[in-house]
Chains A and B, each alone.
Chain A
Amino acid sequence: MPAYSSDAERLIEVSHLAEVQGRSLWADARSRFVRNKAAMAGAFILIVIAFFALFGQLIAQYERDMIDFTLIGANMQKGVPSIETGHYFGTDSSGRDLFARVVQGTQISLMVGIVGALVAVIVGTLYGAVAGYAGGRTDDVMMRLVDVLMSIPFMFVLILMLVIFGRSIFMLFLGIGLISWLDMARIARGQTLSIKNKEFVEVAHATGVAPFKIIMRHIVPNLLGIVIVYATLLVPQMIIFESFISFLGLGVQEPNTSLGALISQGASNMAYGVLWQLFFPLGFFVLTIFGFFFVGDGLRDALDPKDR
C-alpha cells in the first residue's frame, strides 16, 4: 500500500486506481512451484508421457493386437527395436508391436492412477470434511467405518473378487476406488478439525450460513492444498497397486494390457535375451512414477502452510 500524504492525494489516487486484482494463495503457490526445478522436470516428463499415451497410437505402425506370425520364434533376430521395420520398441513374444502395446499400457496405467486419485479426492475429501465438521457421534461412527474398511486386507479381497467375478477393468477400478479414499478421508478429517476452530468458520456459523455451505465455502478450499498434494502422491501408488495385480496375472485381460502386465511378460522372457520387452514398459513405468513423485513433492513445498 502506498502511503498517502494527504486526503486530497488519496482521493486522486482512488479515482485513478482501477480495481486491483489480488494475488490469491493459489497464485503464490503457482509461482513457487514454477521456481522448483525438480518439480518442473517432473511435470514436463508427465506431459510428455500423457501425450505419448494420448497420441502414440497415431504414430504406431502396427495395430496393437496384430500378431505377426513370421516373427514368432524369431523374436531375438527379427523383433529387435528398429526404425526400419516400424517396430520402434520391437515386438513381444507373440509378434505384436511393442510400441503400440506400451502406448496402451501407459493409457490404462494412467487411467487407473487418475481414477483412483479422483475417487479419493471427491469421496475422501467430502467424507472427511463432513465427519470432521459434524463432530461428536456422527464423526465417531463415520471414522470407525473407515477404520473397519481399512482393517480389511484389500489386496486379498480384490484378488478374490477378480477370481470370483472374472477379471475385468471394471472390477479393477471398483476395487481401487473402494480403497483409495480411505486415507484421504482421514487426512481431510484431521485438517477439518483444525480449520473448524478458526474464527472465520465461527463467524460464518454465527451469521447463519448453512452447515453444508460452510463446508464447501470455508472448509474444503482450505483443505485443497493438502488434498492435491496427497492426490498426486496417490496416483503412483495406485499405478503400482494395479501393476502388482497385473504382475500376478489378475489385472487387465488380453488383448488389453497395462504397464504392469507388460513388465510381467518382459520379466518372464528375460532369459531369452529379449530385454527390450522388459526395459521399454519398465522405463515408462519408472518415469511416470518419478514424475508424479517429483510433482507431488513440488506441490507440497509450494502449498506448504509454513510459508504463509
Chain B
Amino acid sequence: MTDPILSLRNLSVTFDIRPRGAWPWTQPLKLHAVSDMSFDLQPGECLGVVGESGSGKSTLARAIVGTVPSSGGQINFEGHDLADMTPRQRRVHRRDVQMIFQDPLAALNPRMTVGDIIAEPLVTHEPNVSRADRKARVQDMMQRVGLLPNLVNRYPHEFSGGQCQRIGIARALILKPKLLICDEPVSALDVSVQAQVVNLLRELQRDMGLSMIFIAHDLSVVKHISDRVVVMYLGRQMEVGEAQTITMRPEHPYTQALIASVPIPDPVLERKRARRTLDGELPSPISPPSGCVFRTRCPKAQPSCAKAIPPMLEVAPGHLVACPYHEPENVLAVSA
C-alpha cells in the first residue's frame, strides 16, 4: 500500500460556547463537534462520510481544509501535520486541498463574474500567469465541468443551482488539487440534477486522479461514488468499511438504523422490509451521553454501554465497528 495522502489520528474539534448573559470570566462550555476521528485516505480514493444533520461532518471537512482549528489529535496531509506546517507547506496545502459546498449559490460572491470567481485560486497561487492564459484556463475548465465558456462574464444569480455547483467545482479544480472535499454537494439540488453532478464528480475524479472526501447525510448518494465509507454520529465514527460492505452488510446498530430510515422507492420491497426508524432527537454535542454516544437511541443498548466508550473493533480486514454488540444484518438481501 502506498502512503496515505491524508491521515487523521484521534482528531477532535471543539467549539467554545458562551451561554447568553454569562459573566465574561466564566469558563465557556465545550461543544464537541468532532471527537477522536481516525482514518486514512489513499491517493485516488473516494471516502464517503455519512451521518445525520449535526453529526459534525462539515466541521470535519473544515478542519481538514484548515478553516477551523483542531483541538486535539493530528491531521497529516502528505506526511505533514497541519498544526505545525511551515508557511510554505501551508501554502501548498491550501492549493492542494479544495472544497465544494452544499449551498452552491452561497459559495459564489454575487458581485463577481463567473470568470473571476473561477480564476480566484489561480490569481492567488499563480499571480504571474498572463491574463490571456488565465482566461484560456478558466474557459477550458468551464468546458470540462459542462458550462458554456462564453458565459465567463455572467454573474452567479443568472445560473441555476446545478450550474452554480458546476462553477464551484470548476473553481475548486482549476489548480489541479490533490484532495477535493465535497460537503453535501448535491443535497440542495433537484433530484434530476443530482445524478448529473455526481457523475461529473466521478468522471473528474477518475480523469484527474483526485482523492476525494464525499459528505452526505445518507448512504443513497454516497454508495455510488465512494470506495469506502465512514459513518459518523455525534462527532464520532461508528463504522468504517468498504462502501459495498457498509451498504449491504452493516454491523453497527446506527448504520443499520440509518439505512432503514431511508424509504425504498419500490413499494413492494418497502412493505417487505422491517422498518425501524430512528426515534428521538440527536443528543446535545455540548454534553454527549457517557459511554457509547448512540446509546440513547440504540435499539440494542445494554446497561454496560453507558460505562465506557466502545473501541473500534476490526470485524473484518478494513471493516471497523464501534460497538461490542455488533452483528451483521443483511439489510436488503432482496434488492442486492
CB-based contact A20/B124 at 8 Å: no
CB-based contact B150/A205 at 8 Å: no
Query: Beta-carbon contacts of A149-193 to B below 8 Å, as 1s and 0s?
Result: 000000000000000000000000000000000000000000000
CB-based contact A25/B155 at 8 Å: yes
Query: Beta-carbon contacts of A208-226 to B below 8 Å, as 1s and 0s?
Result: 1100000001100110000
Report the minimal beta-carbon distance from B325 to chain A, rounded to whole angstroms.
40
Which residue of B is nearest A10, CB measured? Answer: B148
User: Cα distance A20–B147 when bound, in Å?
Assistant: 13
Interface footprint category on B = 35 or more
CB-based contact A206/B153 at 8 Å: no
CB-based contact B99/A19 at 8 Å: no
Determine whether B106 belongs to the interface, using a CB cutoff of 8 Å to chain A.
yes
Stretch of A43-51, A108-116, A194-202, A271-279 lying at the B interface:
A194-202
CB-based contact B154/A20 at 8 Å: yes
Report the minimal beta-carbon distance from B111 to chain A, rounded to whole angstroms.
4
Which residue of A is nearest B108, CB measured? Answer: A200
Determine whether A287 belongs to the interface, using a CB cutoff of 8 Å to chain B.
no
CB-based contact A209/B120 at 8 Å: yes
Determine whether B18 belongs to the interface, using a CB cutoff of 8 Å to chain A.
no
- Provide the residues of chain B in CB contact with A20, threshold 8 Å: 150-151, 153-154
Q: Which residues in window 133-176 of B have CB below 8 A to A?
A: 148-155, 157-158, 160, 163, 168, 171
- Could you say which of B62, B125, B154 contacts A208, with CB atoms under 8 Å apart? B125
Determine whether A77 belongs to the interface, using a CB cutoff of 8 Å to chain B.
no
Query: Beta-carbon contacts of A17-35 to B below 8 Å, as 1s and 0s?
Result: 1111111110000000000
CB-based contact B111/A25 at 8 Å: yes
Determine whether B227 belongs to the interface, using a CB cutoff of 8 Å to chain A.
no
- Could you say which of A18, A200, A204, A222 contacts B150, with CB atoms under 8 Å apart? A18
Determine whether A308 belongs to the interface, using a CB cutoff of 8 Å to chain B.
yes
User: Cα distance A183–B158 when bound, in Å?
Assistant: 34
User: Cα distance A203–B182 when bound, in Å?
Assistant: 12
CB-based contact A206/B66 at 8 Å: yes
CB-based contact A206/B67 at 8 Å: yes
Report the minimal beta-carbon distance from A239 to chain B, rounded to whole angstroms.
31
User: Cα distance A23–B131 when bound, in Å?
Assistant: 22
Determine whether A59 belongs to the interface, using a CB cutoff of 8 Å to chain B.
no
Determine whether B226 belongs to the interface, using a CB cutoff of 8 Å to chain A.
no
CB-based contact A308/B110 at 8 Å: yes
CB-based contact B111/A221 at 8 Å: yes
Which residue of A is nearest B61, CB measured? Answer: A206
CB-based contact A19/B152 at 8 Å: yes
CB-based contact B171/A203 at 8 Å: yes
Residues of B at under 8 Å CB distance from A? Answer: 62, 65-67, 90-91, 94-95, 97-99, 101, 103, 106-114, 117, 120-121, 124-125, 148-155, 157-158, 160, 163, 168, 171
Residues of A at under 8 Å CB distance from B? Answer: 1, 14, 17-25, 198-200, 202-209, 217-218, 221-222, 308
